[in-house]
Amino acid sequence: MRKANIVVVGATGAVGQVFLSIMEERRFPVDRLRLCASPRSVGKRLKVNGMEVEVEATTPEIFEGADFAFISVSTNISRQLVPIAARAGALVIDDSSAFRLEPDVPLVVPEINPEDLEHHRGVTAIPNCSTTQMVMALYPLHKASPIKRIIVDTYQAVSGTGTLAMQELREQSRTLLDGGTAKPSVYPHQIAFNVLPHIEPFMEDGYTREEQKMLYETRKIMHAPNIAVSATCVRVPVYMCHSEAVHVEFEHPMSPEEARELLAAFPGVTVIDEPSANRYPLAWQAAGKDDVFVGRIRRDSSNPNGLAMWIVSDNLRKGAALNAIQIAEEVLKRDLLARRRV
């Protein structure tokens, strides 16, 4: 496999850091690596593959000669940077929601819809973390028996917001344990010892943007334009890994045994489902792991064609950085880099 020139934008952020460590773990074939971040991190030196790499300013020129631009920044900054990187000739793998629903931008979970990459025009997107782990657990079932409707309520870790949010949880927790009062800064309300039914801005219909993503991204990734989804996305005082309670309705009944078999056979999914031994997926155990963990699979007591289940995954890995690297690996395998100049 030829080696690739890579630019990582947001290299010092929560996702960027995990991206670099997974790149090492998987021995991703890197030729030249350039790291960018916001002005306050420029000049910092990060250790990658045993070498020190200096963080540079994010200029248009930095993308010259890059094969891949991995961009993990805010949606607003992505909106500006992605076209610049693509114009410079890099294949962009964007972590934001800015371009995910554009018809000519493949939104890819490589275990599910890798073939969508064939149609890229220089920009690809990775799905929202809460969507990725859900479709990883539902797609193998959907192939066996089409899914009609998904109800999902989430328990999302603060690492999804970023390193400042992790710090806020830590500091608020300590302040409250010491008898003090929490001062919210990253979140609109106290996150320590509390839960917030509010992730991303509220939209016209009363859902948040995060909740809407779970509908529209699921449809796009699974090529299932009629799937119905209702989500409540909730931030919980957990550092790492999102958990999800999912109630899914199929066209035809599916037994928990069949679901477990289908899931166990699907790459990137691990079934942990022995409730009698207190074994089910747990956020703190999934941290740092690549897989999506599924358990508590049972017949939905409110619907003969339904199943209920519990899905946990590391939101920074499969929910972001790992999925991005898998996309790059798939692009190399399929020899799709040339397409970016079409």
Q: Which residues in this chain contact its own copies in the complex, by CB under 8 A? A: 149-151, 153, 155, 169-170, 173-174, 177, 188-190, 193-198, 202, 205-207, 215, 228-230, 232, 234, 236-239, 243, 245, 247, 256, 275-276, 278, 280-284, 295-303, 306, 308, 310
Q: What is the DSSP secondary structure assignment for residue 63, as one 8-state letter?
A: G
Sheet holding 269-271, edge to edge: 228-232, 147-155, 242-250, 306-313, 292-299, 269-271
**Full DSSP string of 127-158:** PPHHHHHHHHHHHHHHHHS-EEEEEEEEEB-G
Q: Which is nearer to its own copies, 72 or 131 (CB)?
A: 131
267 in Cβ contact with 321 (< 8 Å): no
Beta carbon of residue 22, minimum distance to its own copies (angstroms, whole number)? 23
Beta carbon of residue 240, minimum distance to its own copies (angstroms, whole number)? 9
**Full DSSP string of 243-289:** EEEEEEEESS---HHHHHHHHHTSTTEEE--BGGGTB---HHHHTT-
Beta carbon of residue 44, minimum distance to its own copies (angstroms, whole number)? 25
Beta carbon of residue 256, minimum distance to its own copies (angstroms, whole number)? 7
Beta carbon of residue 117, minimum distance to its own copies (angstroms, whole number)? 29
Listed in order, strand segments (DSSP E) in the chain are 4-9, 30-36, 45-48, 51-56, 68-71, 91-94, 123-125, 147-155, 228-232, 242-250, 269-271, 292-299, 306-313
Q: Which is nearer to its own copies, 113 or 230 (CB)?
A: 230
Residues with catalytic roles: 129, 242
Tokens of 138: 């539902």
Q: Which is nearer to its own copies, 74 or 239 (CB)?
A: 239
Tally of CA atoms within 13 A in the half-sphere of 2 that contains its CB: 12
Handedness of CA 298, 302, 306, 312 (dihedral sign): negative
Q: Which is nearer to its own copies, 186 or 245 (CB)?
A: 245
| Angle of the 14-25 helix axis to the 322-333 helix axis, nearest 10 | 50
Q: Which is nearer to its own copies, 139 or 207 (CB)?
A: 207
Q: Compute φ and ψ for 38, nearest 5 degrees.
A: -70, 160
Beta carbon of residue 168, minimum distance to its own copies (angstroms, whole number)? 13
> Look-up: residue for tokens 């035809």?
252
Q: Which is nearer to its own copies, 121 or 298 (CB)?
A: 298
